[in-house]
Amino acid sequence: MDWITHEEDVWFDFRGSSPDQLVSGRYYKGTVDGFADFGVFVDLSPGVTGLLHRSELDRRLESLDWEPGDTVFVQVKNVRDNGNVDLAWSIRQSGNEFRGAQIHDPDGDADGEPIDSSDDDDDGPVRKTPTPDREQALNGDDGESERGGEAAAAEPTPDDESATDDEPTTDNEPTTDNEPTTDNEPTTDNEPTTDDNDLARVDVGTLEDRVGDVVRLEGEIVGVRQTSGPTVFELRDASGVVDCAAFVEAGVRAYPDVEVGSVVRLDGEVELRYDELQVETEALSVLEDDEAATVERRLADALTAEARPDDVTPLVDHDAVDAVADDLVDAAETIRRAVLESRPVVVRHSATADGYVAGAAIERAVLPLIREEYAAADAEYHYFTRRPLEESVYDMDDATNDVTRMLQDRDRHDEKLPLVLLVGTGSTVESSDGLGLLGIYGARRVVIDAEVADAAVAEDCDAIVNPGLAGVDAADLSTGTLAATLAATVNPAVRDDLSHLPAVSYWEDTPDAYVDLASEAGYDADRTRELREAIALEAYYQSYEDKRELITDLLFDDDAGGLAGHVSEQFRQKLDAEVETATANLDARDEDGLTVEVLDTDAYTHRFDFPPTGLLLDELRRRRDADLIVGVGTDECYLRATSDLDVRGVASDAAERADDAGITAASIRDGRVEFLSGRRDAAVDAVVAAAAERLA
């Protein structure tokens, strides 16, 4: 029966080479390339990959049972000017659920031709199957190898072909009486043998020049992915990491004894798949005893030599930075080593301008190292993540979130446990429980903070970089500046990209050296102010998201300043309006000769709109002449003073004054004190009196 096929009723097989050849609204067949926190990457053709964002799914990303290599159906939602492809969810995940299929061949004659359902192969990407003879020879086996027999059984044999003495050895080449044949394939006396000593070891770093060659690699398995087709092993040696595909039969785990951490010898043919290097595995064995020890020493020596910087790469001379130079080198080595070990790096920072500058600086340094180390195009999304925190305490809620994700990634994708880099957070004992939970599961924890820190935290993490703990006054050092220096030490090649970031991280009293450094890079005082304000505004919205592309556009790619200027204007309008409302509703008090102003933030601020309470109170402190400003919510208050204030001491003193109010210091970095809502008035009076007494 003839019928007109509507595009929304069919799926298309895309055979183009450019994203702009896709047609929005059409459903396409694709292959899962990999996962990130925010969605799934799907290959629509070699070189054309789209992102199916988690917001487009009809279920939680964690519950999606796709694996890399799986065949899926997605809808093209939008193709952006920069070539990024936005995908939408398709509830139909089988070709049989569509009314038909067509070829989309923009550059060829097949465009629009229907695809017969019998021609559709939903088993995922095709992989070469190693021959039993090759497997036996490389393993030194006289009989059937571990995988050879299974592979031979899995290889298809056309029903209409049979081997006879009269058949030619190839489709178009006749045999002659002088050419002996075995299984219809010619052999010669000069054909190389394939015993175990036949191949010399080569480095992963040389594979680009060896496409088409059979090579031998030795190294550590740092990742294992089971796809609907082959098993993909990530092998790392002293020079890099490469994917090695091993095929038994579709969806069956090859070499089940090989796990993450195994030291192996692997032989296979080097190929290009979607313009990325991949080795088609022909033999794989786990090394033991002296052989394994030799490879491990080779990897360890190379790792240490490559990971440790010679020295700190300073942005300017700064005494507080000099005081922690050795700690910065140690932290930089830890980060570089994580990249080389295929260990994900998770950066946790506060959702503030300073926090975002700090996190973005480290991101700017680490992503190029990941791109250099891994052939996969989406490796930077697998091995680096920024996860902003709403506050400056790394609590059990945050740690539980991280532990859940890292265990899922370990069990689902065989990923190593991550390095968790806590920037501008995690430095006080209020974060000890969260840090401890990470430690129980073996995740590495490094804390970077220019401000307050407790010595006891050193026991809860693997390393901490803090000038205060080094005995130096760091009042003129921001966490963004410290992190930018760390980033330049991790990757000196990006130092110039980071030169304006310290000036962006200060709300006031920016050291002249950093003002001059930014000016030399083309960022005057107005540009840095606009950037600071724009980052602060964007940090508030969807504070739990990293907004990687937007932050990159603002901090590094906004040459004319148009984007920052536009967002900064919104920041200023919203902040000024809120400050005006707050100022009209301040309750002024006289405490021990000090001027104290109290704001009921529940009653006189927009609780679910910008600015957040902390930023509003900071601005009030800068604009007002009060000695102390207190923002009071339902069961918490924030303290802002014109001089240093011991928030823990205030909470302790206030608890003695109102011992039934449940008063406790929740975050000394944020100046936040908690209390029981039922005793709010008594708690606030006690906190104000205790703070004024300590300031007097």
User: CA-CA distance, 206 to 368, in Å (whole number)?
Assistant: 19
Q: Are residues 192 and 57 in the same domain?
A: no
What are the helix and strand counts (H, E) for the chain?
Answer: 20, 25
Higher pLDDT, 177 or 387: 387
Burial group, residue 629, by CB count within 10 angstroms (0-12, 13-18, 19+): buried
Higher pLDDT, 39 or 683: 683
Give tens-digit pLDDT for 300-345: 888 888 899 999 999 999 999 999 999 999 999 999 999 988 899 9
Question: What pTM was estimated for this model as a whole?
Answer: 0.68
Where does the pLDDT of residue 3 fall: very low under 50, low under 70, confident under 90, or very high at 90 and above?
very low
Higher pLDDT, 495 or 193: 495
Give tens-digit pLDDT for 645-654: 999 999 999 9
Within its chain, how far is the Cα of 380 from the centroid?
6
| Candidate from 177-181, 677-681, 682-686 with smallest mean pLDDT | 177-181
What phi and psi, each to the nearest 5 degrees, are found at residue 600? -80, 100
Q: Are residues 330 and 406 in the same domain?
A: yes
What phi and psi, each to the nearest 5 degrees, are found at residue 580? -60, -45
Confidence (pLDDT) at 7? 58
Q: Is residue 167 part of a domain?
A: no
Where does the pLDDT of residue 59 fall: very low under 50, low under 70, confident under 90, or very high at 90 and above?
confident
The CA distances from residue 521 to 378, 518, 527, 536, in Å, are 31, 5, 11, 22
Q: Is residue 397 part of a domain?
A: yes
DSSP string, 30-45: EEEEEEETTEEEEEEE
Q: Are residues 319 and 451 in the same domain?
A: yes
| Residue 602 pLDDT > 70 | yes
User: CA-CA distance, 303 to 305, in Å (whole number)?
Assistant: 5
Burial group, residue 107, by CB count within 10 angstroms (0-12, 13-18, 19+): exposed
CB 282 within 8 A of CB 135: yes
| Residue 121 pLDDT > 80 | no
Q: Tell me the Ramachandran region of residue 148: left when phi exceeds 0, alpha when psi lies from -120 to 50, beta otherwise.
A: alpha
Q: Are residues 59 and 93 in the same domain?
A: yes
Q: Is residue 580 part of a domain?
A: no
Those residues with Cβ within 8 angstroms of residue 647's Cβ, 6 or more apart along the chain or in another chain: 639, 665, 668, 671, 672, 673
Q: Are residues 133 and 256 in the same domain?
A: yes
Domain, as residue range, for 624: 585-695
In the chain, the percentage of residues whose pLDDT exceeds 70 is 86
Where does the pLDDT of residue 194 fall: very low under 50, low under 70, confident under 90, or very high at 90 and above?
very low
Coil, helix or strand for 480?
Answer: helix
| Candidate from 186-195, 570-579, 675-684 with smallest mean pLDDT | 186-195
List helix spans (H) across 341-475.
Answer: 353-373, 379-383, 396-413, 432-440
Where does the pLDDT of residue 197 fall: very low under 50, low under 70, confident under 90, or very high at 90 and above?
low
Give tens-digit pLDDT for 445-471: 999 999 989 999 999 999 999 999 999
Across the chain, mean pLDDT equals: 85
Q: Are residues 334 and 222 in the same domain?
A: no
Those residues with Cβ within 8 angstroms of residue 416's Cβ, 6 or more apart along the chain or in another chain: 222, 223, 260, 341, 342, 343, 344, 410
What radius of gyration, in Å, describes the C-alpha atoms of the chain? Answer: 31
What token pair was written down for 152?
A: 């031979």
| Residue 104 pLDDT > 70 | yes
Q: Are residues 245 and 330 in the same domain?
A: no
Q: Are residues 454 and 329 in the same domain?
A: yes
Q: Which helix (H) or strand (E) holds 472?
A: none
Length of the chain in residues, anyone?
Answer: 696
Give tens-digit pLDDT for 521-566: 999 999 999 999 999 999 999 888 899 999 999 999 998 889 999 9
Residue 675 is part of a domain; what is its CATH number? 3.10.310.20
Q: Is residue 240 part of a domain?
A: yes
Q: Are residues 491 and 371 in the same domain?
A: yes
Q: Are residues 234 and 199 in the same domain?
A: yes
In degrees, to the nearest 5, what angle opens at C-alpha 10 toward C-alphas 6 and 13? 125
Q: Where are the beta strands (DSSP E) in 183-230?
A: 185-186, 214-226
What token pair was written down for 41?
A: 């990457």
Q: Is residue 575 part of a domain?
A: no
In the chain, the percentage of residues whose pLDDT exceeds 90 is 64
Tally of structural domains, the chain: 4
Where does the pLDDT of residue 274 fall: very low under 50, low under 70, confident under 90, or very high at 90 and above?
low
User: CA-CA distance, 689 to 695, in Å (whole number)?
Assistant: 10
Q: Are residues 230 and 312 in the same domain?
A: no
Q: Is residue 56 part of a domain?
A: yes
